[in-house]
Chains A and B, each alone.
Chain A
Amino acid sequence: MIMHLPALPVLLPFIAAVLVLFPWFNPRLHIQRLVTQFFLLALTAVSVMVLFKTLADGPLGYAMGDWQAPFGIYLLADPLAAFMLVVTSVLALFTHLYACGGEDTTGRFFHPLFMFQLMGLNGAFLTADAFNLFVFFEILLIASYSLLIHGGGRERTRAAQHYVLYNLIGSAFFLIALAVLYRAFGTLNIPDMAARSASLPEESLPLAQAGGLLLMVVFGVKAALLPLHFWLPRTYSTTSIPVAALFAVMTKVGIYSLWRIHGVVFGHDSGALSDLGGVPLAWLSGLTVIAGAIGALASQTLRWLIANLVIISVGTLLMTVAMGTTQSVAAGLYYTLHSTLMTGAFFLVAGLILMQRGQAEDRFVRSRPLLYPLYTGTLFAVTAMAMIGLPPFSGFLGKVFILQAAADSGDALWVWPLVLISGLAALIALSRAGTTLFWRTQGTVTQEARERISPVHHMAAGMLVATTILLVVAGGPLTEWTLRAAQDLHAGVTVNYLNGGQP
């Protein structure tokens, strides 16, 4: 069993999804909930096990069907991938719990789709092969298309149409990039590509550069880099609350792929290919932060505001990719953990708020007072402070690490103002949102809220918000481990190692 550990994060959601599609399981919603919750708990346990095992023994490899690298399908769990697995499974556990409060009743296939989405995400984190990365991207995308329109409605269909068509074009670009890179490198195994990138023959260089830059565009689409980010606010703000919360990790897949491919194959010691696209990426990431800040200040609903905060956090993370040092990747990884969990938590809190406000939902207008103002208000305040980056919550630590990494790598001049000013913009936008939502009230409490909100909703939102405290309390070991993850990523894993030899 322990030998197959790296494959389990892909297999568990797959088994769960297929299981709840079977005739006996599918019509029984409570059975579906129990089965998927059980598998999610198991997935979280397995992910944590993978993380500790990789931290103790170094990267774990898994050759599918024992076909050896670089020809076989290879899964590679290094600490970076393991961290992403853990954060995804924790986020999924609580958003799924929230969905069990009633959001999963709007269609028959919520649970299988949710699990297929997780399968795609985990596969994308674990794979060591660029073409396999494409396949897992498609799995997570087709699940996300269906989850996005789950429950139906005019606005959702409109948002889904943009999202689907746009991502299909993105997938076409992905394939073109892979074809170009295959021609240049003669392999698509990422460690193998990294080993060859420094000594690529002269005539292959233009091809490799074109392929690498195209791939950056593709990951920019997924991560919502500036000129490619316009799909994000509408998509996130129209879909159902648990799905929006789960999508918090979707943009991070793009960031992760940039670390994995551009940080290693086109990293610092790749000869003529070193730091490919670093300068444009730095500019665009800065502009992404500015666009997100402007969008946040102009938002009219809470969900739209959170979507713009996602854009700010994506821009901040892309700055760490552009800096490209080990410290910056470590800081970015900590910030990824924080921003994924907090964005998810914020969407759940927004769900609690909009269920209590009747017709006004989450629009910033004078409306009814909330049914549970103290509990909802506390959650809102904690999450907002974490998102802005105020002490004592995890956002503060994350931003300090990024500022430190920027100072060490000599990028402080452009990183510091952007991070600090975007924090100020978030502070203004969120304090305006909070005062309107909680204090500008008229009329009486709506009774409808009592029926719609179940204790499960409260529990799920509360526990996901509490992870910010966990991130701060465990800050010491976490920073050490994220640094290990970044060092392991940059040290690289060679094909030799994959085949059981020494690094």
Chain B
Amino acid sequence: MELIFAVTVGVMVTCSVFLMLRGHTFAVVIGLTLMSYAVNLFLFASGGLTLHKPAILADGSEYSDPLPQALVLTAIVIGFAMTAFALILAIRARADLGNDQVDGRTLPTDSLANKDGQGKIRQHSEKLSGGKSR
């Protein structure tokens, strides 16, 4: 069980690190979400992995530690709030900066960009909103 658990956490962290190193904010946010899942699992495991044990001290001396579960619960809630904020901010940045690069600059190799550095999507959305306002 320990092995499966460790490999799961490891694979998730690997994927999240790969995603977080990408330039697009969407990939980074997905990476952060994966990272928080992996961290929550890791936090859960910090009390030791046990099966079929009571949560508080019963007659026997073996029990599963309830504290990490409380910690994970808190961490999940906070993680949700933070991910939501990061997403809203990414959308805001998309509108303000005209692209979805983390550093706010469009790369020359970016397939969504044309020569003057403006994303095609931006022009498209401007066309749409411009049409509506007129």
Contact = CB atoms under 8 A, between A and B. Distances in A.
Contact of B32 (A152, A154, A169, A183): A169
A145 B89 contact: yes
B113 interface: no
B42 A176 contact: yes
B106 interface: no
A161 B104 CA distance: 9
Contacts of A474: none
A219 interface: no
A145 B82 CA distance: 10
Q: Main SS of chain B's interface residues?
A: helix
Contact of B43 (A153, A165, A175): A175
Interface in A243-259: none
A179 B46 contact: yes
Contacts of B42: 175-176, 179
A440 interface: no
Interface in B33-59: 35-36, 39-40, 42-43, 45-48
Given A154-B97, A169-B32, A179-B46, A161 B25 contact: yes
Number of contact residues on B: which range applies? 20 to 34
Contacts of A131: 71, 74
Contact of B82 (A138, A153, A180): A138
Interface string B10-46: 0000000000100001001000100110011011011
Given A158-B97, A165-B102, A175-B43, A135 B20 contact: no
A469 to B, nearest CB: 41
Given A138-B78, A142-B82, A168-B82, A178 B43 contact: yes
Contacts of B39: 172, 175-176, 179
Contacts of A472: none
Interface in B82-108: 82-83, 85-86, 89-90, 92-93, 96-97, 102-104
A77 interface: no
Contacts of B74: 131, 135
A171 interface: yes
B89 A161 contact: yes
* Residue with the greatest number of chain A CB neighbours at <10 A, chosen from B32, B92, B93, B96: B96
Contacts of B43: 175-176, 178-179
A290 B22 CA distance: 31
A164 B46 contact: no
Contact of A162 (B48, B67, B81, B102): B102
B68 interface: yes
Contacts of A171: 78, 82
A162 to B, nearest CB: 7
B20 A169 contact: yes
Contacts of A51: none
B92 A157 contact: yes
Contacts of A157: 89, 92-93, 96-97, 104
Contacts of A142: 81-82, 85
A210 B19 CA distance: 25
Interface string A461-481: 000000000000000000000
B75 A161 contact: no
A299 to B, nearest CB: 21
Contacts of A182: 46-47, 67-68, 71
Nearest to B35: A172
Given A138-B78, A142-B81, A172-B36, A183 B46 contact: yes
B35 A164 contact: no
B78 to A, nearest CB: 5
B98 to A, nearest CB: 9
Contacts of A319: none
A218 interface: no
Interface string B103-131: 11000000000000000000000000000
Contacts of B48: 183
Nearest to A145: B85
Contacts of B104: 154, 157-158, 161
Contacts of A158: 93, 96-97, 103-104
A183 B45 CA distance: 9
Interface string A128-154: 000100010010001001000100111
A165 B83 CA distance: 9
A160 interface: yes
A149 B40 CA distance: 29
A171 B81 CA distance: 13
24 contacts: A135-B74, A149-B92, A153-B96, A157-B96, A158-B96, A158-B103, A158-B104, A161-B93, A162-B102, A162-B103, A164-B89, A165-B20, A165-B102, A168-B86, A169-B20, A169-B32, A172-B32, A172-B39, A175-B39, A175-B42, A178-B71, A179-B39, A179-B68, A183-B47
Top 4 nearest A-B pairs (CB, nearest first) are A179-B46, A158-B104, A157-B96, A179-B43
Interface of B: 20, 25, 28, 32, 35-36, 39-40, 42-43, 45-48, 67-68, 71, 74-75, 78, 81-83, 85-86, 89-90, 92-93, 96-97, 102-104
Given A161-B104, A180-B46, 16 more contacts: A131-B74, A138-B81, A138-B82, A142-B81, A142-B82, A154-B96, A157-B92, A157-B93, A162-B103, A165-B20, A165-B28, A168-B86, A171-B82, A179-B42, A182-B47, A182-B67
Interface of A: 131, 135, 138, 142, 145, 149, 152-154, 157-158, 160-162, 164-165, 168-169, 171-172, 175-176, 178-180, 182-183
